[in-house]
Amino acid sequence: MDKRNFGDRSEQVSLLGFGCMRLPVLPDNKGIDRKAAKEMLEYAYEQGVNYFDTAWGYLNGKSEAFVGSVLKKYPRESFYLASKMPGWLLKNLPEAEELFAAQLKRCQVESFDYYLLHSLTTREEFDRLYLKEKVLDYLHREKQAGRIRKLGFSFHGSIELMNYVLDNFPWDFVQIQLNYQDWDTMQARVLYELAIQHQLPCIIMEPVRGGALATLNDKAAAILKQAAPQNSLASWAIRFVASLPGVLTVLSGMSTMEQLEDNLKIASGFQPLTAQEREILQQALEAYLEVSPIPCTGCNYCMPCPFGVDIPGNFSAFNQGAGKRLLTDQTQQKEKREEFRKLWADLAPEALAGQCRSCGKCEPKCPQHIRIPERLKILQNLLDQIQ
Ligand code: SF4
Ligand code: SF4
């Protein structure tokens, strides 16, 4: 496993970081599949992965305790543990103090190696909680006390907000969403360049865009498969971000052993993309964007919907249809229509897009800035048309 540091030689972070938000789960939402998830975490550790990223809310609040329970048998100094403060849940400093203490307890550790302000999205939230309520000062005190080794933030806001937090406050690292689809279309390149200008190591999240870049559509997939039949589609996405200078570790939210094996292969003896491969990847991206998928990563931050709509489930079904090109001129063909409808078969009637009441509760929570009620409406209209 390749290791990286950023001028600090005592720090040797594995190029592949384990994102613990998509660990395998049991059917019918019955919680983490502890056996399978434990096997994956242990195998990753044995293969040299030493960065584990969890958060208060991941896996319905179960991720931190689970990750802590698996890692506790390893020497504490042999892995880096990251967790995050969910600012949107907190009203004031005492709540933040209580939550931080609970996180250490959940994870069964004395300190976090990397601690993040989770999902900075608006200046309002940053100013209210971290400045007015002085939670940022508190986190620096935790750093002085040794309970936080490095302090950073994960980011889903505007370029203006990024400039504001980078210019005015000291950080040890940043965590940004970066992948080859968002590089030009979602300001990812600008955010990355700002972090590099501030000489901050970048931790990368969503390198495979919630799994979408692991499937693409038929045309885009064929381009990549023709260029390198033995390589997975996801491997192109991981290599794209890991090739960028200043990237400390690439977080992958893995759910299966196959995904882990594939990622381990890429991150051991890492080969950056060549100029020719970059061109091929660009061609594949253009083919992928011909049918525009909804940029949902399946993060679940928008859930639950008070009316029971399965927002990511609907978007995922739509994107699968888009990937198979069932939505272009083929929608009139009977078998294509049937195939498209079947993508919704796993969703209960009350979870369908048509149940959306446009209450707007979900939209501000979406880090991808998706106009959720609007997209659900379009999607339901489409389903109605092909009945
Ligand atoms: S806008 Fe629609 S999907 Fe979003 S929370 Fe309200 S009812 Fe649910
Ligand atoms: S709609 Fe937005 S918040 Fe909801 S799962 Fe998709 S990306 Fe996440």
Residue nearest to atom 4 of ligand 2 (CA): 302
296 domain residue, yes or no = no
Domain boundary among the residues 289, 319, 341 is at 289
Rounded CA separation 162/187 (Å) = 11
pTM: 0.78
Same-domain status, 33 and 133: yes
Residue nearest to atom 8 of ligand 1 (CA): 305
Residue nearest to atom 3 of ligand 2 (CA): 366
How far away, in angstroms, is 303 Cα from ligand 1 center? 9
131-161 pLDDT, tens digit each: 999 999 999 999 999 999 999 999 988 889 9
275-302 pLDDT, tens digit each: 999 999 999 988 887 666 788 888 899 9
Cβ of residue 21 lying under 6 Å from some atom of ligand 2: no
CA 312 vs. chain centroid, Å, equals 14
Q: What percent of the chain has pLDDT over 70?
A: 95
- Above 80 in pLDDT, residue 335? no
Q: Among residues 340, 354, 341, which one has the least CA distance to residue 305?
A: 354
Contact 356/286 with Cβ under 8 angstroms?
Answer: no
Q: What mean pLDDT, rounded, does the chain reach?
A: 91
301 domain residue, yes or no = no
Quick one: pLDDT at residue 210?
84
Same-domain status, 324 and 381: yes
- 10 burial via Cβ count (<10 Å: 0-12, 13-18, 19+): exposed
Cβ of residue 102 lying under 6 Å from some atom of ligand 1: no
98 domain residue, yes or no = yes
Mean pLDDT (whole number) for 237-250: 96
Quick one: pLDDT at residue 318?
86
19-36 pLDDT, tens digit each: 999 999 998 778 999 999
Contact 51/3 with Cβ under 8 angstroms?
Answer: no
Residue nearest to atom 7 of ligand 2 (CA): 296
Quick one: pLDDT at residue 378?
77
Quick one: pLDDT at residue 330?
44
Same-domain status, 59 and 204: yes
Quick one: pLDDT at residue 370?
86
The atom of ligand 2 lying closest to the CA of 303 is 4
Same-domain status, 352 and 273: no
160 domain residue, yes or no = yes
Confidence at 212, pLDDT banded by 50, 70, 90 = confident
Contact 309/353 with Cβ under 8 angstroms?
Answer: yes
Q: Among 307, 375, 377, 378, which is best to mutate for testing ligand 1, by the most ligand atoms less than 8 A from CB? A: 307
Cβ of residue 309 lying under 6 Å from some atom of ligand 1: yes
Structural domain of 52: 3-289
Q: Among residues 214, 311, 284, 198, which one has the least CA distance to residue 254?
A: 214
Looking at residue 303, the DSSP 8-state letter turns out to be: P
Same-domain status, 274 and 348: no
Query: CB-side exposure of 176: number of CA atoms within 13 Å?
Result: 28
Same-domain status, 273 and 318: no
Cβ of residue 195 lying under 6 Å from some atom of ligand 2: no
184 domain residue, yes or no = yes
Confidence at 100, pLDDT banded by 50, 70, 90 = very high
- 59 burial via Cβ count (<10 Å: 0-12, 13-18, 19+): buried
Quick one: pLDDT at residue 74?
97
117: helix, strand or coil: strand
